[in-house]
Structure 1
Amino acid sequence: MSYMNKFEEQIIICKECLKGISQKINNNGVPSNNINYQNLYDELYKLSELLPTHLAIYQKRLHDFILPNLKVRDMVSYNQWGQQIIFPCTGINPYTLGEVIATLIYIDENKHEYDNIWVNIHPCIIQSSQKLFNDAHYAESVEAAFLEINVRIKEIIKLKTGEDIDGVPAMQKAFSVNNPIFKLHTDIISKTGKDIQQGYMELFVGAFRCIRNPKAHEKISITKIEAIQKLHFASLLMYEIDKAKINTL
Structure 2
Amino acid sequence: MSYMNKFEEQIIICKECLKGISQKINNNGVPSNNINYQNLYNELYKLSELLPTHLTIYQKRLRDFILPNLKMRDIVSYNQWGQQIIFPCTGINPYTLGEVIATLIYIDENKHEYDNIWVNIHPCIIQSSQKLFNDAHYAESVEAAFLEINVRIKEIIKLKTGEDIDGVPAMQKAFSVNSPILKLHTDIISKTGKDIQQGYMELFVGAFRCIRNPKAHEKISITKIEAIQKLHFASLLMYEIDKAKINTL
Q: Mean Cα displacement is larger for which, 74-83 or 159-168? A: 74-83
Offset from partner CA, 1:184-234 (integer Å, 9 cap, x none): 000000000000000000000000000000000000000000000000000
Inter-CA distance 7–141: structure 2 relative to 1 (3 Å threshold): closer
2:196 match? 196
1:4 match? 4
* Native 8 Å contact 1:4 1:119 kept in 2: no
* TM-score in terms of structure 1 length: 0.56
Inter-CA distance 244–27: structure 2 relative to 1 (3 Å threshold): farther
Give structure 2 stretches of 5+ with no counterpart: none
| Displacement of 1:248 | 1.4
Offset from partner CA, 1:35-88 (integer Å, 9 cap, x none): 999999999999999999999999999999999999999999999999999999
Q: Mean Cα displacement is larger for which, 12-21 or 137-146? A: 12-21
Inter-CA distance 177–111: structure 2 relative to 1 (3 Å threshold): same
SS of equivalent residue, structure 2 residue 112? coil
Task: Give identity over the alignment, percent.
Answer: 97
| Displacement of 1:113 | 2.8
Offset from partner CA, 1:110-157 (integer Å, 9 cap, x none): 897343210100000000000000000000000000000000000000
Give structure 1 stretches of 5+ with no counterpart: none
What is the root-mean-square deviation of aligned Cα atoms in Å? 12.9
2:207 match? 207
SS of equivalent residue, structure 1 residue 115? helix
Inter-CA distance 236–99: structure 2 relative to 1 (3 Å threshold): same
Inter-CA distance 88–131: structure 2 relative to 1 (3 Å threshold): farther
* Native 8 Å contact 1:41 1:67 kept in 2: yes
Q: Mean Cα displacement is larger for which, 22-31 or 161-170? A: 22-31
| Displacement of 1:179 | 1.2
* Native 8 Å contact 1:182 1:244 kept in 2: yes
Inter-CA distance 189–62: structure 2 relative to 1 (3 Å threshold): same
Inter-CA distance 211–37: structure 2 relative to 1 (3 Å threshold): closer
Inter-CA distance 64–177: structure 2 relative to 1 (3 Å threshold): closer
* TM-score in terms of structure 2 length: 0.56
Inter-CA distance 150–102: structure 2 relative to 1 (3 Å threshold): same
Inter-CA distance 213–91: structure 2 relative to 1 (3 Å threshold): closer
